Amino acid sequence: MDYYYNEQKPQRVLILAADTGEYDAGASVDELKELIKTAGGETAGVMIQTLPCVNSVSYIGSGKLAEAAEFAAANDIDLTVCDCELTPTQQRVLTDTLKTDVVDRTVLILDIFALNARTNEGKLQVELAQLKYSLPRLSGKGASMSRLGGGIGTRGPGETKLESDRRHIRRRIHALEEQLSALETRRRRRRERRKKDGVTTAALVGYTNVGKSTLLNTLTNSSVLAENKLFATLDPTSRALKLPDGREIMLIDTVGFISRLPHFLVEAFKSTLEEATDADLLIVMCDASDPECEEKLDITLEVLKELCTEEKPIVTVYNKCDIAHNFIAPYSKNAVHISAQNNIGITNLLNCICGALPDNRRRLSVLIPYRLSALEAKLRSSGRLFAEEYREDGIFMDIELGFNDAKEISEYIVPQNKNEDEQ
């Protein structure tokens, strides 16, 4: 499905769109231009036709189609991209009329996914999504393309190539689903281990290309791939983050969302998105410099709602505030303006994360024997120390600890009345 990438020169692309009023066609086409750019293409023209409904045969009307064919011939168009999901009939008619390769929005997204998948799981997910898209679109109909039956004139070699292809694809889909199921089980066990170990997780979620990977790099001093392209991140990446209050959390970067993402694509990347469903905190990012910022934020929240994450605490991050002119975000206690690239507003964000995280820590007074100096060092690194005093019978610490750490040193906790008596 690699129609777009060309190291010598980008393919010249014509965009066709039918504006039926179901969504903002102009904004959708702008998004499609970015997808084409990410895939390595160059948008040479855009044609949008207002219609009461999409033409079931040719997608757009015959007059507009003839106009598009003239434009394609006169401007050396290599590829036509339609801002919808085409039926096999529509794709065939458009290809025959325009004399160019024709793909739809879904194939374009799949191509970008294939370009950016780096881990084994990501590649399996992309292949599964491509096969599920291709299966109902295998061309060919009629008796000549079906299994030959019994009787005079119907005997023959048996299974046709079309049926063989379908059978092969179904087998491959089944094999991929089994492999992904095993990887999903492994990922689920890792999440369960994190919860058992008391690891707090925060997931970076949001529309594609809003700066999630850049923020992950800024907060954790890491070097995760961060590019100004759609879907640069397909595979979840985790990094440890030490918060100002002494807590350490696991920060997880996730695949970006996009409007009108086909359901089967969401299903294919379900195991990746489950990192968001199991997180203790959602850091929802949006691009403050984008005119469609609020609309895309709504899309993100809608997808999260479908993933059953409504009850989770959310911190809303308006990124790229340094280039967002005249943007005024709605006031919210758990909303911050930042520039991840230029390190603006990061302190406010960290404090906001601290305030929004579930309160699973306790402030305790403990007395650690001198023979357990290693334990004292561990508590100092994992907790928030308010006071420390070297006493005759051990090291006294006034410290805030996570639930698991507090459970581990329960025998060294100083009862409140005893502590007051000693002081």
SS3 394: strand
Q: State both tokens at 197.
A: 């170990």
SS3 202: strand
- Give the number of other CB atoms < 10 A from CB of residue 387: 9
Closest CA to 1 of 117, 159, 145: 117
Lowest mean pLDDT among 78-82, 328-332, 352-356, 391-395: 328-332
Rounded CA separation 183/193 (Å) = 15
Longest dimension (CA), the chain: 105
Rounded CA separation 161/169 (Å) = 12
Query: Which one of 91-105, 253-267, 404-418 scores highest in mean pLDDT?
Result: 91-105
Report the predicted TM-score, pTM, of the whole model to 2 decimal places: 0.66
Rounded CA separation 361/58 (Å) = 62
Give me the pLDDT at residue 8, please: 59
CA–centroid distance for 101 within its chain? 29
Lowest mean pLDDT among 101-115, 155-169, 352-366, 398-412: 155-169
Rounded CA separation 47/69 (Å) = 11
Rounded CA separation 70/77 (Å) = 10
Instruction: Give yes or no for residue 206 having a pLDDT over 80.
Output: yes
Instruction: Convert the pLDDT of each residue in 174-183 to its tens digit.
Output: 998 898 888 8
Rounded CA separation 216/254 (Å) = 11
Give me the pLDDT at residue 5, please: 44
Give me the pLDDT at residue 309, please: 65
Instruction: Convert the pLDDT of each residue in 49-67 to its tens digit.
Output: 999 999 999 999 999 999 9
pLDDT classification of 331: cutoffs 50, 70, 90: low
Instruction: Give yes or no for residue 153 having a pLDDT over 50.
Output: no
157-165 average pLDDT score:
66
Instruction: Convert the pLDDT of each residue in 333-358 to its tens digit.
Output: 789 999 998 999 999 999 999 889 87
Average pLDDT score, the chain:
80
> DSSP state, 92?
H
Rounded CA separation 123/133 (Å) = 15
SS3 350: helix
